Amino acid sequence: MQIASHDRLDSRHSSLRPTALIVEDDPDIRGAWSILLDHQGYDVASTARGDEGLRLALDREHDLILLDLGLPGMSGSKLLHELRMAKSDTPVVVVTANDDPRLATRALRSGASHFVQKPVEHGALLAILDEVRA
């Protein structure tokens, strides 16, 4: 069956699977989130570095980004700022172990969709991602 060029399979990607970018420096967390999202049907890209995360985010449109704040190469706050300056409207869920309430306020004002404190249960994380994608 041929699909006409005006038919919309997915507005952002040639793949039918949604895409997620994980920018997290802890390899155990990054790996667990990658597996979790893969099982939920996402194509997952990940990196431990903020500068690499920005490059990946700008090279390919993603359906969502999971972003830690404390990263080597570039902070998560700077990555979020640069992403928004590039006019990207990709939903960004900031997940951090830092419990400073001012960080949440700054992240949300900078364009984060959600701010979540680690540790976060997988079910709670999936609920947030479903809300962000709705």
Q: Is residue 11 situated within a structural domain?
A: no
Q: Is residue 2 situated within a structural domain?
A: no
Q: Give the strand order in the sheet containing 92-96.
A: 43-47, 19-23, 64-67, 92-96, 114-117
Q: Is residue 102 situated within a structural domain?
A: yes
CATH of the domain at 126: 3.40.50.2300
Domain of residue 115: give its range. Answer: 19-133
**pLDDT exceeds 60 at position 6:** no
Q: Is residue 6 situated within a structural domain?
A: no
Q: Is residue 50 situated within a structural domain?
A: yes
What's the whole-model pTM score? 0.86
**pLDDT exceeds 70 at position 1:** no
Q: Is residue 3 situated within a structural domain?
A: no
Q: pLDDT by residue (tens digit) across 108-131?
A: 999 999 999 999 999 999 999 989
Residue 19's nearest CA partner among 46, 43, 47 is: 43
For the chain, how many structural domains are there in total? 1
